[in-house]
Structure 1
Amino acid sequence: MPRFEAVLFDLDGVLVDSELQASTVWVELLAEHGLEIDLPTFMAQAVGGTHVVLFEWLRQTYGWTRPESFIPEMDARLHEAFGSTQTIEGAAQTLELLRGAGLPFAVASNSLRSRLTRKLEASGLAPMVGAHAYDPAHVGGRGKPAPDLYAFAAAQLGADISRCVVVEDSVTGLSAGVAAGATAWGLLAGGHVHPDNAVHLLGAGAARILRTHGELQAALGLAEHPLAQLG
């Protein structure tokens, strides 16, 4: 397989298992503000997207417009929920193996910067990611599915985007990686995974589908690295 110059990760659903956390907060708060929506329906639309897009979908689909108090309430609840963010099994080892192999990596997420930082810190991944955690504010608010965020992350690592692999769990994010010119892999290791996800990711241009971080490590050629024996 080709040697990649860098690995670019989404965060939610790829490194940390936070999609269900976030969506549960949203669904509960929406119900308190008069909009009943079931969790699977919400997650099918929300995973991988930005809040701007999500609010517009709620307006167009349900005729619901957020009250002024909604965002402050949501921010407070998400901050509390993300304080217990857990890593997806094998994710920390993947980052350790990449670091040990000298293969640069970054996180590129549609999360607001404060939430991105909160999740990385709570999960214990912040020291490994370091300064290479990027959000739409780094590219003028042009989040996924626009290619800007992944292109920016690659540039910060000094890597050619066409020689990078993007690891994603959502069509929105994977489409961004493909549009940026990277190789894109779907990783379906999070707790929110739906049986149809693989089909959708392949349709969006995924070069391969992986089910665990162990499979990802093997695909990246890390499984034979000495650190891989520690797990």
Structure 2
Amino acid sequence: MRHDLVIFDNDGVLVESERIANAILADWLTELGHPTTLEDSIRDYMGAAVHRVHDLIMERSGRRLPADFDATLHARTVAAFERELEPVEGVTDVLERLTAGGVPFCLASSGTHERIRAGHRRTGLDRWFPEEIVFSAQDVGRGKPAPDLFLHAAQRMGVAPERCVVVEDSALGVAAAVAAGMTVYGFTAMTSAERLAGADAHFGSMTELPALLF
């Protein structure tokens, strides 16, 4: 094993949530008078904590989002996850191999703990990710692209940043991992290798990931 800890992003890496979540976000913003397509949402917000949505909308329109924005977005997203969410194809095979090899892994996501848990209950990934190895942007002051979340996860897992490898599918997540001084592998299922240019390597299918990790 080349590293002492594998840190997985959640949305788009472990669960097929990006299109679901970004479609809901785009629809909600459009309802509120900020026309947003699915493609716009993926480009601007994929991999980010919700504060980025508030920041960009204020920057672009000069208007604040309503006080119930986060709660409504969260409720709609969790409901959709409980109806539709599936694990990323092949990811359980990767987790089984890491477990069999005694390789520690954890999760570091821009999503809330409740959203992560809801998705994992639906997909069965909760058996792989007990609460003590799940880290959320809620746990730190700044979400991705700041390195805080990845550094927090490494510190809690007792591993030096330079001994960690991050598996990410967003440009913001890759930037955060680079800023944390970690190796990062970019998953290109939804995001082009060009947008993940800061990654140390790229892969398009979970079947390719073990060759990078081991």
TM-score, scaled to structure 2: 0.93
Query: 1 CA distance for matches of 2:139 and 2:37?
Result: 33
The letter for the 2-side match of 1:6 is L
Q: 1:198 aligns with which of 193, 198, 210?
A: 193
- Corresponding residue number in structure 2 for 1:211: 204
Structure 2 counterparts to residues 34-73 of structure 1, below 5 A: 34-73=33-72
Confirm whether residue 91 of structure 1 aligns to residue 86 of structure 2: no
Q: If you compute each CA radius of gyration, which structure gives the higher value, 1 or 2?
A: 1
Answer yes or no: is the 8 Å Cα contact 1:145–1:172 preserved in 2.
Answer: yes
Work out the CA distance in 2 between the residues paired with 1:71 and 1:129.
25
- Paired position in structure 1 for 2:26: 27
> How do 1:156-175 residues align onto structure 2 when only pairs under 5 Å count?
156-175=156-175
Mean alpha-carbon deviation: is it higher for 39-48 or for 146-155?
A: 146-155
RMSD: 1.5
Q: 1:174: how far off?
A: 0.9
Quote the Cα distance in structure 2 between the aligned partners of 1:199 and 1:52.
Answer: 25
Query: 1:187: which partner in 2?
Result: 187
Structure 2 counterpart of 1:71, one-letter code: D
Length-normalised TM-score, structure 1: 0.86
Instruction: Show the counterpart of 1:228.
Output: none
What is the CA distance between 1:150 and its match in structure 2?
Answer: 1.0
In 1, Cα distance between equivalents of 2:145 and 2:37: 25
Q: Which residue of 1 aligns with 2:177?
A: 177
Query: Is the 1:35–1:64 contact (alpha carbons within 8 Å) kept by the matching residues of 2?
Result: no
List gaps (5 residues or longer) in structure 2.
none
The unaligned stretches of length 5 or more in structure 1 are 222-231
The total of aligned residue pairs comes to: 212
1:16/1:86 contact within 8 Å kept: yes
Provide the identity percentage.
35
The answer on whether the counterparts of 1:22 and 1:78 sit within 8 Å (CA) in structure 2 is yes
Q: Which moved more, 1:103-112 or 1:156-165?
A: 156-165
**Within 2, Cα distance between the matches of 1:64 and 1:85?**
33
What amino acid is aligned across from residue 178 of structure 2 in structure 1? V
